[in-house]
Chain A
């Protein structure tokens, strides 16, 4: 950005040597710290990988395909948790995507005066700022009792469907998915809103000029144009949902058995780690590290794809 400034500095012969060295050491300091921040990602990968090595040697790939987590017999595998992590995140996306995009549309189009929109944007941002443990506490004592009639109704009327095949017992996949959807919605809204708002105004004017209504414009011009931004935001939200720990731990029921019903208790990789870590030692702790490595790998892939998509969008 200011390479011109750097050149003019080095050309200047009148500056004292202390000032020159101060200047160059300052630039070096910022450079080192900047690379350090980037290197933290690598450091995390190496560190978590090293901690998982004993469990990798013990179980190998079967760790991801087996379904028994049995500390007394030193038998560890996490297929139910992988399933729980993915399904709870998908439920969250299914709920949060339409709502989040609708919010983004309302907040980026001129439905409301600018001042009202600014307040609403602030409120949606606040939704992301509430700590996840507070959502968890709220989930246990407010959301789970509230969902009881809905869960019972689903089981009684749609019980033949595998997803609703068990009684609603309270903690389970469904409340976890709903809590996660609340937490990831602001991400979808923020990034979709940014990409909708950054579209050139000519697109809108052109569409109105040929006689489209506002919603025809939104559906056939604006959303397709901003589509990759919306997808990027959704991927980012997915990454957050996969790794979210506290809210999920408190409401998912922490059952290590594989169950297809969303009304039954389940578990995610993150909540398995949060639950068992304090009492674990030896191979169990190593296995939790291995589970952490798998979670890290999954979220890393999702996040990298999301960032690549979003970076491309910014060139518009």
Chain B
């Protein structure tokens, strides 16, 4: 008799919340563990950015943007030719990949039968997972072997292949978010497919497309592996689209392992420039998506 009342009391106390119960303690410990792991994940980001700023900032002066890279024992110098080269390479890649990517995405989201669209999306996603070095030897085979010279054009082509799946996917997703009623309204007042897409659907999706494109450009600007098979590097100013061309990323790769302090400092400064460029692209993309139409 007395034991049953004891049990009842025990059961009642079990229902009360208490901080000393195992399940509460385990829960708290797991929460702490999860937050610690999140901290561990973000630590490298902080460290990389901090080191790039510490080691690169003291070379962040005018000559970095105006002078050519120094030879082995020379002092001073800059990475001006590599900045121009990276801009040219990314420019070529953007000119090739943006129109193709956007129009391909228009087909996927506006005109394609569901089955076809699914297969093409699948192929595009797999394409975005192809290692960049494989895209490099592909561009080497397609352009460098044919034209018999390493060239800015070959480098831009390789970067375009890498940008293409990103642009297709982000544009495709952006177009799908545009409400169906907008298309019906446009067709209802007599617009053709061409006009509906060009004047109504694409403008509505523009902010998200800008986001995808700027992320793709940022990724392309940092790519190194495909460029060592295609664009190569030179110590001098870019000399036309069908000649080897310098770039920031290959400059970092080349100067990372040299024994000369001056060139190593330039590698850090070039890293700082690339990281700043990527931060800029990320911020632009955030700002663009904030102004979404629908």
Contacts and interface: CB of A to CB of B under 8 A. Distances in A.
Contacts of A120: 38, 42
Contact of A31 (B52, B111, B257, B281): B111
B12 interface: no
A99 B40 contact: yes
A27 B193 contact: yes
B256 interface: yes
A160 interface: no
Interface stretch (B3-11, B23-31, B58-66): B23-31
A41 B126 contact: yes
B252 A133 contact: yes
A33 B100 contact: yes
A282 to B, nearest CB: 14
B36 to A, nearest CB: 8
A48 B131 CA distance: 13
Contacts of B142: 43, 47
Contacts of A296: 130-131, 134
Contact of A2 (B45, B130, B164, B183): B183
Contacts of B228: 274, 277-278
Contact of A299 (B24, B129, B192, B253): B129
A273 B192 contact: no
B37 A103 contact: yes
Contacts of B31: 111, 214-215
A146 B45 CA distance: 16
A30 B271 contact: no
The secondary structure that dominates the A interface is helix
Interface stretch (A59-67, A136-144, A162-170): A136-144
Given A33-B103, A38-B119, A98 B37 contact: yes
B48 A130 contact: yes
Interface in A112-153: 120, 122-127, 129-138, 140-142
Given A250-B257, A289-B137, A30 B192 contact: no
Given A99-B41, A124-B41, A131 B222 contact: yes
B229 interface: yes
Interface in A264-316: 270, 273-274, 277-278, 288-289, 292, 295-296, 299-300, 302-304, 306-307, 311
B101 interface: yes
Contacts of A5: 183-184, 187, 193, 196
A222 B161 CA distance: 37
Interface in B222-236: 222-225, 228-229, 232
B173 interface: no
B130 A44 contact: yes
B193 A26 contact: yes
B25 to A, nearest CB: 10
Given A5-B187, A30-B104, A295-B131, A138 B225 contact: no
B68 interface: no
Contacts of A306: 129
A112 B166 CA distance: 30
A239 interface: yes
A240 B104 CA distance: 25
B249 interface: yes
A8 interface: yes
B13 to A, nearest CB: 15
A111 B24 CA distance: 15
B33 interface: yes
B275 interface: yes
7 contacts: A34-B104, A40-B127, A44-B138, A138-B48, A138-B51, A142-B51, A243-B133
Interface of B: 23-24, 26-27, 30-31, 33-35, 37-38, 40-42, 44-45, 47-48, 51-52, 55, 100-101, 103-113, 119-120, 122-127, 129-135, 137-138, 141-142, 161, 164-165, 168, 176, 180, 183-184, 187, 190, 192-194, 196-197, 215, 218-219, 221-225, 228-229, 232, 249, 252-253, 256-257, 267-268, 271, 274-275, 278-279, 281-282, 286
